[in-house]
Chain A
């Protein structure tokens, strides 16, 4: 299979359909779920899909080691190319990594302004054509309204799409009666698309809870495969 077909058949096209064209440039999207069930996999898959389409992505993380994140990308790419039997996989791979940069912030305590400044410096001095920024591990419980507004302004100002993850512990009920993740209640007007990743009869299913100006509750028929950690049609 060639790259074009992989893009066309990606389960993420379904997500775009459901959200009327995706999050969109200048806007924010969030994937919320309990800890450790696959938010990073989803985000990396979304990023890889963009990279496949020739877009530039900056991946922001708050991990202790950068090589873990690189390994995520390598694994997801390997699974996709294996599953779809990608031709010239190495060449496609080399093309993709040219357009991807990982920016890691090694400890808590970096202000949102600082992170945005660093990402801007990267965009100014190299990744000029950045289309999307992935922010994995951002702590919404510590974030103020102003923080989220700053990201929102940055997205509009730089004409980029920003994806976040929002994490919860095993014990708490994390959604309100509308199915909205509770960390986002105060800042929901800044966010265009919200997805949750939920365990439904043993399958990890993506659910759309905010679709631009509408609060919805729509099961996307997209699941996260436990073994390959790829999104696929359920």
Chain B
């Protein structure tokens, strides 16, 4: 293999669901001769695309886990991370993006820029990932790559410029015209593997020249030489164009747009060429770590094989041979048999088997150079952990992890399922930080939490398939919060002085709403009315009360507790007494501070044909949703709304039936909002009824 780091690309393929991302990946593997036959995602041959390694993914025709695979194209090693498209799994997408140096943004030539593309693009922007765009499915009826390119400019605000134009469209798609070399490229052979280069057809020459001019105009921003050459009316040499495209792409100020059809085997090889030419190699991107020995000072990592190794575990997978940990090496070389430190757990381990992955097959290697993406066997860790050489303590910056908004109780169907379930949960929580689990001390039930209904459903299915753990599930439960709207002064005495050792504590102060943050404790005691050793006890008592509100038993947020006075007893006061007093004060005060319930509000985007617009409006309205905006484009309409999560259960089914399956929606957490009075009353009543039953 080529070991030169400049000859390496780590790329992701990001896209809206169903825009053909998995098919594209499949074709890339084929042309790079990693696989010997082409299978479709929803294959009739029953084999399924190679990247969709999980059975479940095959069945649903979607990609859930981001398997990493290595291919080589024209002597360059390309590691491809196949990222999941559904918004419910965005933590996987975000984790994958972290280790990428570049991305291919795949769009459907008919559907164009859809809500999911916007989410994915925002994530690419957040992690500063340079990208090229590929407009797929140009063979479909209604294909319009020019419109999609314009949408990239309008909707995503990208400086998207066509680098190719299609020869023919829809069923007449024959090939592409390369606007840099000004030549027509056709894809011959049974699987489009033979490239035939021809002159541009006369009928398309004017258009190609026009688009080339637009391209050169956009590129002149990135190269003075190019601008001068264009101004002087000279021919612009290809390498000058290539350099300008690369500069623009790396600075994320330019996005080259490529066209084709993965399904019809057109435009894939030229896209791979673009990846090589324009997307960055590992040294082109600056990565930083935090030095834990030096007050978390930022350290710039260098893609230098001789430096001390630093790697990030970005994905765990439970295979038939045990736990696989995908890592990205940022600095130094990781060798088989070398010692590494897991910075989070502060434990040393020895690198056993080191492999390069191709979905389900793997290749044993002895070392992984800086910039590479490989997998380790049998390492006990969680995803997001940093590994570095034992004499250092460097940590890659923590990744953004949103809080879960939905929970579900699960119960194993029998005793054997119980052990397997525990094993599965242990694995899932390590793999996915947005998936959490705990045992409710009151009901003794196992609760799982996540980012949406589908998110949890997929894990329940995986439990069944991969771990053979059958579970019964309860109704999904929204993660409500309680908060207060006004302030109150409290003065509470806890006294128990009858027989045995007594308890005595008095606390006084103010409870008030906190604008930002969940909780704040302020100590305003002067003159020692509460001895300083008992101040933490008060804080602790308040915090314990915050865990469960008295309205519906959910955690309380947005409260500031200040204590300004109190009293103690030389003998009867204790840590416990002050904790109890603080809890009493909180309980009494809370009722007087206009407590209310907050619920997670989701940002929902529904897209579908305009004829169903009325139904969509109605469906949102019925669900206590607030329509922010609607946008019509041609015959397509998208509706943006804010809807409480508690009202979104079963929406996908309803939406499907009201739109003949033609509308789809995405949702993500937006904020916590106040529950209307009538709903609040219902929730409180339900809570009290349940409490009375116990």
Contact = CB atoms under 8 A, between A and B. Distances in A.
A106 B631 contact: yes
Interface in A199-224: none
Given A65-B154, A66-B640, A103 B630 contact: yes
Interface in B249-299: none
B614 A121 contact: yes
Main secondary structure of the interface of B (DSSP, over half): mixed
Nearest to B515: A90
Nearest to B612: A121
Contact of B630 (A97, A98, A102, A107): A102
Nearest to B673: A94
A125 B631 contact: no
A86 interface: no
Interface in B616-634: 617-618, 620-621, 626-634
Interface string A117-141: 0100110111100000000000000
B626 A97 contact: yes
Nearest to A126: B621
B263 to A, nearest CB: 28
Contacts of B618: 124-126
Of A70, A107, A124, A125, the most chain B CB neighbours within 10 A belong to A125
Contacts of A126: 617-618, 620-621, 627
Contact of B629 (A70, A110, A124): A70
Interface in A98-115: 98, 101-107, 110
B631 A104 contact: yes
Given A107-B634, A121-B613, A121-B614, A66 B154 contact: no
Given A126-B620, A126-B621, A106 B626 contact: no
B155 interface: yes
A66 B613 contact: no
B259 to A, nearest CB: 21
Contacts of A85: none
A56 to B, nearest CB: 12
B488 interface: no
B610 interface: yes
A119 B627 CA distance: 13
Contacts of B617: 121-122, 124-126
B630 A106 contact: no
A64 interface: yes
A64 B154 contact: yes
Contacts of A125: 614-615, 617-618, 621
Nearest to A103: B630
Interface in B596-622: 610, 613-615, 617-618, 620-621
Nearest to A99: B626
Interface string A20-64: 000000000000000000000000000000000000000000001
A122 B630 contact: yes
A101 B627 contact: yes
A66 B615 CA distance: 21
Nearest to B636: A106
Nearest to B147: A107
B412 to A, nearest CB: 44
A65 B629 CA distance: 11
Given A64-B154, A126-B620, A118 B613 contact: yes
A99 to B, nearest CB: 9
Contacts of A97: 626, 628
B637 to A, nearest CB: 8
B621 A107 contact: no
Contact of A104 (B615, B621, B626, B629): B629
B134 to A, nearest CB: 23
A102 B629 contact: yes
Contacts of A122: 617, 627, 630
Interface string B150-164: 000011000000000
A106 B634 CA distance: 8
A100 to B, nearest CB: 8
A127 B641 CA distance: 13
Contacts of A69: 629
A50 B536 CA distance: 52
Contacts of A103: 629-632
A118 B612 CA distance: 10
A70 B628 contact: yes
Of A106, A110, A118, the most chain B CB neighbours within 10 A belong to A106
Contacts of B640: 66
Contacts of B626: 97-98
Contacts of B630: 101-104, 118, 122
A191 B613 CA distance: 30
Nearest to A98: B626
A70 B634 CA distance: 22
Nearest to A100: B628
A90 B634 CA distance: 36
A101 B631 contact: no
B629 A101 contact: yes
Interface string B495-512: 000000000000000000
A98 B643 CA distance: 12
A69 to B, nearest CB: 8
B628 A106 contact: no
A125 B622 CA distance: 9
Nearest to A106: B633
Interface string A74-100: 000000000000000000000001100
Contacts of A127: 627
Of B155, B628, B630, the most chain A CB neighbours within 10 A belong to B630
Given A121-B614, A126-B621, A101 B628 contact: yes
Contacts of B613: 118, 121
A66 B639 CA distance: 11
Contacts of A102: 628-630
Contacts of A65: 154-155
Contacts of B627: 101, 122, 126-127
A123 to B, nearest CB: 9
A97 B601 CA distance: 15
A140 to B, nearest CB: 21
B670 to A, nearest CB: 13
A109 B615 CA distance: 24
Nearest to A127: B627
A69 B154 CA distance: 14
Contacts of A101: 627-630
The 4 residue pairs across chains A and B that have the minimum distance between CB atoms: A125-B617, A125-B618, A121-B614, A106-B633
Given A98-B626, A104-B630, A118-B610, 17 more contacts: A64-B154, A65-B154, A66-B631, A70-B628, A101-B628, A101-B629, A103-B630, A103-B631, A103-B632, A104-B632, A118-B632, A121-B614, A122-B627, A124-B614, A124-B618, A125-B614, A125-B615
16 contacts: A97-B626, A102-B628, A102-B629, A102-B630, A103-B630, A103-B631, A105-B632, A106-B631, A118-B632, A121-B613, A122-B627, A124-B617, A124-B618, A125-B617, A126-B618, A127-B627
Interface of A: 64-66, 69-70, 97-98, 101-107, 110, 118, 121-122, 124-127
